[in-house]
Amino acid sequence: MKRRCFMVCYLLVFLFVGVSPTMAETPTLEQQLVYALEVYDGVGYTSNFAPANEETIYLLADHSNAFSPRNTMVYYWAITRSYKADWDELNEPVESATLEILQGQTLIQELPPTLFSIVLPEGHGSRKSYLLWGADAERGYPGFLEEFREYYIQIRDYQNAYQEYQTAYDEYQDAMLDETIVEKPNAPVRPVEPPPFLKVVIPPSFGFQVNLPEGDYRIRLKDLDGQIIPDSEKKIVVFSHRRTGIGYKIIPESRWTVPERSDDPQQTIYVMGGSNAAIYLQPFYEAEYNEAYYRGLLDTQDHSGAADRWAWAHMEPFYQATMTMSSENSTGELEMTGEKPFFVVQMPGPRLGYQVVEYDPATMGGQRPTFVGFEVGLERDDRKVTIGLVDQDGVVVEGSEREIRWVPEKRPVIQYLWLSFPLLVGLIVFVLRRSRTKRS
Amino acid sequence: MIKSATNTTAITLSFIRWEFLKTLFSFQNYIAVFVSLCVAWLMVNGMINTVAQNGLIIEANPFILPFLATLLPYAVFLALAVAVSLAREIENRTFEVLFFAPIRFSSFVLGRFLGQLTYYLLALPLVLVFFIGYANSVNLRVGPGFLGAIVLSPFTVASVVGFGFLIAAYLRKTRITVVVLLALILLLLGVQFAHVLLPTLQPAEADTTLLVLTDVVDVMYRVVEWISPFAYLTKGVDAAQFGAPELYARVVLASLAYTILTLALSVWVLREKGISR
């Protein structure tokens, strides 16, 4: 009995002791000097941080980046296999006098801490952002608050005006229904709602403005006494794009929800001959970077990129261009197409299917276009068409050209001739040799 | 001295001539090319079927993979053939008999090597005619990457054959040579494919095994990219595709240096180990 009691107690202790640490397990925090980073990614600024174990920071050449050294608590998060900063626990700027940038053993720059601020002109939903430095940053945030206050005044005025409009409209409706009033009043004018205020400016803080040409560098912090701050040294790899170009999001009419992408200008778009559908193309800027460097730029702890591979990074949509099309059958004249809005109409009834039609604001008022793009009809006699973009000045946009090729619907018989070509040659050689041997 | 050099050249040329004629008049070689092209044809046909099912496909080099599918078995076959013939000659002692004549190791190695290369050089125009003719009939584009691969391929085959020769010269036993050579080629190709394939896999849940495997393959690839002849081919194709003639020329030179190094090492190993079994 005693033994059984002991076993039950042991089991309970085992269960609680065994389970509780797992449930209450918290990562171990370690105080570290880290660099909070605002790095330029080709469109805007990406927030990032370099913990103590990451030796290298990647930057794009000839763009300003903000380095903000801070003391914080860092912990390892096994799920993402990366270190995380607990900014709420500790977020203390490192008191440093200068940031030194060295190339080899040569000191090339000594940067003082400068006030900076991030501006998101289209709000948090957009990738676009830029940095303000020094006096601009000092003015930027109060300016933003002032703009925001003005926006609220506009909104308040609009709401008041709208209330007045509602009252006036009710009166107008009453007057229209009142048969005793012979002279009907004019309808009140609906007030225009101010456009949404999307801009965001982050309050300024101190950081170092790092803007370097392509190359390998080292950085380190010096304190107010001129001593190098321990753990502040990092390698900086500054890189540039290998190519820039125009990528296309390609929306086939047959499956508009599953678009394809063409990044490389060498790529060809193959479509089926005899197709009566269309494809819609949406161009965007893109740049090709070393995969390891660019992934390291977006996240200092991302080592998934390979140093011998290149990756296209998608930038902003390319607007205000005209698409040109030239085919073998055309007599040198280019077909020009403009970008148009399109609307997807679902088929009535239970049958799956839809139709992509050109958006008409007159008949589709109240609804927004589903997408905007260049339409390329596939019902053509051509075997090959080359498309490209020209900008507003009529200049061909570099890297925008692509070939569209029509693959024959019915495979030609001649393909078998090409396949059996080695056998035919072998047979001819064999016969020739035989006849020569017989003759000799 | 001059007489000796002329003699060496004559012996080397007679090796090459013999191998060339043997290849040219052997109908089996044409069948081998036909079979490997059938594999390429099936691959391209599969791609065309995808266009029909998918509505469209976007492709830079529709013929690169089919061409590699033709080239790789051929290169491996030639490497095995040269390795087996050398190992067998050492095992059967015909190697000893051969060297009763005033033959240098270098002319023997060079003759055998160039003879094997003629197999490929004779097959290459047939392969090229098929791809260009077929591309034209189904309206697929023969891109610069494909042409770059075609030009680079004899150098790759030469490197693979040189690699096979070196393994055979060192191991000297047919069975072990075949097993080791095949295992090494599979390992080199496997690491190269895994290096490309693994980063593209994105499992829905965190997969530690996959992450560890990716790291291990990355480390292995750092070695493989120097010692694998196939790695030079992919680098050359990339360079041709990107339009970097300097880089392409560097890859061609690297393949050439690789071949010379493996052949020189083979001569050295044969000389060091002697002609007897």
- Sequence-distant (≥ 6) Cβ neighbours of residue A81 within 8 angstroms: B206, B211
A198, A213, A240: which is the final residue of a domain? A240
Indicate if A190 and A215 belong to the same structural domain: yes
How many domains are there within chain A? 3
Q: Do A270 and B241 touch (CB under 8 A)?
A: no
Q: Do B27 and A426 touch (CB under 8 A)?
A: yes
How many domains are there within chain B? 1
Q: How far is CA A335 from CA A278, A329, A388, in A?
A: 16, 12, 10
| A14 in any annotated domain | no
Indicate if A324 and A397 belong to the same structural domain: yes
Q: Note the ipTM here.
A: 0.80
DSSP 8-state code for residue B58: E
Q: Is A430 on the interface with B (CB under 8 A)?
A: yes
Indicate if A399 and A430 belong to the same structural domain: no
A181, A208, A240: which is the final residue of a domain? A240
Q: Give me the pLDDT at residue A9, please.
A: 53
> In residues, how long is chain B?
277
A240, A264, A296: which is the final residue of a domain? A240
Question: What's the pLDDT tens digit per position in B221-263?
Answer: 888 988 888 888 888 888 887 778 888 999 999 999 999 999 9
Indicate if A200 and A301 belong to the same structural domain: no
Indicate if A161 and A304 belong to the same structural domain: no
Indicate if A234 and A251 belong to the same structural domain: no
Q: How many angstroms separate the first and last alpha carbons of chain B?
A: 30
Q: Do B139 and A260 touch (CB under 8 A)?
A: no
Q: Measured between CA atoms, how close is A254 to chain B, in angstroms?
A: 7
> In residues, how long is chain A?
440
Q: Is A166 on the interface with B (CB under 8 A)?
A: no
Q: Do B138 and A423 touch (CB under 8 A)?
A: no
A434 and B27 Cβ atoms separated by less than 8 Å:
no
Question: Which site among A264, A266, A436 would you substitute to test the B interface, given the most B Cβ atoms closer than 10 Å to its Cβ?
Answer: A266
Q: Measured between CA atoms, how close is A286 to chain B, in angstroms?
A: 16
Residues of chain A in contact with residue B144, where contact means CB-CB under 8 angstroms, are 266
Indicate if A282 and A177 belong to the same structural domain: no
DSSP 8-state code for residue B101: S
pLDDT in tens, chain A (440 residues): 455 555 555 555 544 444 444 444 677 899 999 999 999 999 999 999 999 999 999 999 999 999 999 999 999 988 777 899 999 999 999 987 899 999 999 999 999 999 999 999 998 888 899 999 999 999 999 999 999 999 999 999 999 999 999 999 999 999 888 888 888 888 889 898 888 899 999 999 999 999 999 999 999 999 988 899 999 999 999 999 998 999 999 998 888 888 999 999 889 999 987 777 889 999 999 999 999 999 999 999 988 787 878 899 999 888 888 999 888 776 667 788 888 999 988 877 777 778 888 888 888 767 888 899 999 888 777 888 899 999 888 888 988 999 999 998 888 888 899 999 999 999 998 888 888 887 77
CA distance A416 to B230: 30
* Boundaries of domain holding A107: 25-240
A403 and A381 Cβ atoms separated by less than 8 Å:
no
Question: Does residue B129 sit in helix, strand or coil?
Answer: helix
Helix, strand, coil tally for chain B in percent (to 5): 85, 0, 15
Q: Do B58 and A269 touch (CB under 8 A)?
A: yes
Q: List the one residue out of B192, B177, B179, B264 whose CA is nearest residue B223.
A: B192
* Secondary structure string (H, E, C) spanning chain A: CHHHHHHHHHHHHHHHHHHHHHHCCCCCCEEEEEEEEEEECCCCEEEEEECCCCCEEEEECCCCEEEEEEEEEEEEECCCCEEEEEEEEEEEECCCCEEEEEECCEEEEEECCEEEEEEECCCCCCCCCEEEECHHHHHHHHHHHHHHHHHHHHHHHHHHHHHHHHHHHHHHHHHHHCCCCCCCCCCCCCCCCCCCCCCEECCCEEEEEECCCCEEEEEEEECCCCCECCCCCEEEEEECCCEEEEEEEEEEHHHCCCCEEECCCCCEEEEECCCCCEEEEEEEEEEEEEHHHHHHHHCCCCCCCCCCCEEEEEEEECCCCEEEEEECCCCCCCEEEECEEEEEEECCCCCCCEEEEECCCCCCCCCCCCEEEEEEECCCCCCEEEEEEECCCCCECCCCCEEEEEECCCCCCHHHHHHCHHHHHHHHHHHHHHHHHHHC
Indicate if A397 and A249 belong to the same structural domain: yes
| A286 in any annotated domain | yes
Q: Give me the pLDDT at residue A332, please.
A: 66
Indicate if A205 and A278 belong to the same structural domain: no
Q: Do A407 and B51 touch (CB under 8 A)?
A: yes
Indicate if A196 and A266 belong to the same structural domain: no
Q: Measured between CA atoms, how close is A189 to chain B, in angstroms?
A: 51
> pTM higher than 0.90, yes or no?
no
pLDDT in tens, chain B (277 residues): 555 656 667 777 777 777 777 777 888 888 888 988 999 999 999 999 998 888 889 998 899 889 988 888 888 888 888 888 888 888 888 777 777 777 788 888 888 888 888 888 888 999 999 999 999 999 999 888 888 889 999 999 999 999 998 999 898 888 999 999 999 999 999 998 898 888 777 665 556 777 788 888 888 988 898 888 888 888 888 888 777 888 899 999 999 999 999 999 999 998 888 766 5
CA distance B70 to A359: 50
Residue A424: closest C-alpha in chain B: B30
DSSP 8-state code for residue B200: G
Report residue A386 CA to chain centroid gap. 27
Angle between helix B229-242 and helix B174-197 axes, rounded to 10 deg: 40
CA distance A116 to A204: 5
Residue A405: closest C-alpha in chain B: B139
Residues of chain A in contact with residue B55, where contact means CB-CB under 8 angstroms, are 252, 254-255, 271-272, 275, 277
CA distance B135 to B63: 8
Q: Is A279 on the interface with B (CB under 8 A)?
A: yes
Indicate if A75 and A155 belong to the same structural domain: yes
Report residue B154 CA to chain centroid gap. 8
Report residue B126 CA to chain centroid gap. 17
* Boundaries of domain holding B59: 2-273
Q: Do A271 and B55 touch (CB under 8 A)?
A: yes
Q: Do B24 and A429 touch (CB under 8 A)?
A: yes
Which of B60, B126, B225 shows the shortest C-beta gap to A422?
Answer: B126
Residue A408: closest C-alpha in chain B: B138
Q: Measured between CA atoms, how close is B253 to chain A, in angstroms?
A: 19
Q: Do A304 and B140 touch (CB under 8 A)?
A: no
Q: Do B55 and A252 touch (CB under 8 A)?
A: yes
Indicate if A266 and A217 belong to the same structural domain: no
